[in-house]
Structure 1
Amino acid sequence: MTTETSPKTDELLTEVTPDWEPPMPPTDLIFDDGELLESKRHRIAMNLLIDSLYQHWSDRSDFFVGGNMFIYYSSIQARNRDFKGPDFFVVLNVEDNTDRQGWVVWEEAGRYPDAIVELTSPSTASVDIGSKKDIYEQTFRTPNYFIFNPFDKNSLQGWHLVNHQYQELQRNDRGWLWCQRLGLWLGTWEGTILRESAVWLRFYDSEGNLVLLPGEVAEQERQRAEQEQQRAEQERQRAEQEQQRAERLAAKLKELGVDPDSV
């Protein structure tokens, strides 16, 4: 028995062609919505993490650090403009291209951040620990995620991805959290930066040493050079005193009729 198709069915079949391709991701991406960080302290806290990590890894060029930068990870999300990027994130084993305006996953071989820090506040806390945390866990698969409120020294929390789920990290005896992907601790430090005195979130190396900012490294080197100069001056004065003692002894021996060279 021959099965015939109706004209309407034939029309539907002709609509699907082998040349059909899925829509491409949008190219008219925006990278600045004009919104500023919560406060001056939030801005300083973000730059502190960025600058100190670049200083710590000054001999490396295989990573990218972003701050308050959009991350685009899907066509739907990009078209809806429904997501803003983390306050601080790091992607490892990529070219450090500082010309990036944002992080566009489909232009970066599908790479997502390896570590993320959100500088939270009362107005963003529910999102940072809710929908954003879910995205970082379930979509980004970011191994390490941290949140910290620059106005609350006890607010540091962190998670590590285990079997595709975030497990909360436990603080060490100093109250620090270990970031496995970066090989660094995240902990608090009290001091003044850009005339702002606060308890800041800082990196510490595996031995517990504070990861310094470029200005702190320059100051440390200045102090070291000053100490070396002081030691050199002390050595010069000591040598001068020894020479003066030798000269006085030689003069005394001459007074006694003794040849100094024979002593």
Structure 2
Amino acid sequence: FRGPDFFAVLDVDGTKQRQGWVVWQEEGHYPNVIVELMSPSTSKVDTGKKKDIYGRIFRTPDYFVYDPFKPKSLQGWHLDISKGYQSLVANERGWLWCESLDFWLGTWSGTIDREEAVWLRFYDTEGNLVLLPEEVAQQEAETAQQRLEEAEQVVEAERQRAEAESQRAEAESQRAEAESQRAEAESQRAEAERQRSQRLAERLRAMGLDPDNL
């Protein structure tokens, strides 16, 4: 019996509920990736006896060890069938390549479960952090909230546009009403002028004068 701190097994039923991983109940599938979290009391076993078992018996392709209290302690090996475990060389960021998962393995400073520390995390080929399920849920919630806010902004902009259009229409209506009133006033003025001219012409005729010849 050997229980690694972290391990991943590929090409198996990931939906099946398990209390642990029992190789002979899993068609002989051993872990493809193992990570051991070392401490001063376990470091020799993790890099010695366990490493030998994982390479010689488990035949686990990728094996890593890391001391959480020593951020630069990450070590890793990839299994060569003929030569055994071969040491991995870190990139410029200090990450190690995990061939089985097509991920980089490296450190990350941040808060998980309200604990701030330097954690061991996976990164994709582009260098992006592989999110934990709770981080994915938080990101989706933030994206949904952002979309809601954007939708509300669109609705508010549309409301303001409609209100501006209504005000413009109202102003146009008022302008038309004012123009109508002006035209009505002009018509009344013209009618009053016509009536005044008519009364004057009647007075002139009453006086024996021809208003057309004046």
Tell me how far apart the structure 2 counterparts of residues 217 and 255 of structure 1 sit (CA, whole Å): 56
Tell me how far apart the structure 1 counterparts of residues 176 and 116 of structure 2 sit (CA, whole Å): 71
Instruction: Decide which of 149, 158, 161 is 2:76's aligned counterpart.
Output: 158
Corresponding letter in the other structure for 2:112: I
Residue segments in structure 1 that go unaligned for 5+ positions in a row: 1-71, 73-83, 259-263
Partner of 1:242: 161
The SS at the match of 1:215 is helix
Tell me how far apart the structure 2 counterparts of residues 154 and 196 of structure 1 sit (CA, whole Å): 20
* CA 120–255 in structure 1, closer or farther in 2 if over 3 Å, else same: same
2:91 maps to 1:172 = yes
Tell me how far apart the structure 1 counterparts of residues 173 and 24 of structure 2 sit (CA, whole Å): 91
Tell me how far apart the structure 2 counterparts of residues 215 and 101 of structure 1 sit (CA, whole Å): 23
Instruction: Decide which of 89, 96, 102 is 1:183's aligned counterpart.
Output: 102
Partner of 1:116: 34
Partner of 2:135: 216
State how 1:129-140 maps to structure 2 within 5 Å.
Answer: 129-140=47-58
Tell me how far apart the structure 2 counterparts of residues 153 and 227 of structure 1 sit (CA, whole Å): 35
Tell me how far apart the structure 1 counterparts of residues 27 and 66 of structure 2 sit (CA, whole Å): 30
| 1:50-75 C-alpha deviation (Å, 9 max, x unpaired) | xxxxxxxxxxxxxxxxxxxxxx4xxx
Q: Which has the larger radius of gyration?
A: 2
The total of aligned residue pairs comes to: 175
Tell me how far apart the structure 2 counterparts of residues 94 and 155 of structure 1 sit (CA, whole Å): 31
- Report the alpha carbon displacement of residue 163 of structure 1 after superposing the two structures with TM: 3.3
- Report the alpha carbon displacement of residue 100 of structure 1 after superposing the two structures with TM: 4.4
State how 1:1-263 maps to structure 2 within 5 Å.
Answer: 72=1, 84-96=2-14, 97-103=16-22, 105-164=23-82, 165-257=84-176
* CA 253–116 in structure 1, closer or farther in 2 if over 3 Å, else same: same
The SS at the match of 2:171 is helix
Tell me how far apart the structure 1 counterparts of residues 163 and 9 of structure 2 sit (CA, whole Å): 64
- Report the alpha carbon displacement of residue 242 of structure 1 after superposing the two structures with TM: 1.0
Q: Which has the higher helix share?
A: 2
The SS at the match of 1:172 is coil
State TM-score, norm by structure 1: 0.62
Corresponding letter in the other structure for 1:231: E
Tell me how far apart the structure 1 counterparts of residues 130 and 64 of structure 2 sit (CA, whole Å): 18
Larger RCO (CA within 8 A; separation ≥ 6) = 1
| 1:120-175 C-alpha deviation (Å, 9 max, x unpaired) | 11110011111111111222211100001111111111100123311111112222
State TM-score, norm by structure 2: 0.75
Corresponding letter in the other structure for 1:240: R
Partner of 2:201: none
* CA 239–175 in structure 1, closer or farther in 2 if over 3 Å, else same: same
* CA 101–163 in structure 1, closer or farther in 2 if over 3 Å, else same: closer
Residue segments in structure 2 that go unaligned for 5+ positions in a row: 178-214
* CA 215–110 in structure 1, closer or farther in 2 if over 3 Å, else same: closer
Aligned residues: CA RMSD: 1.7
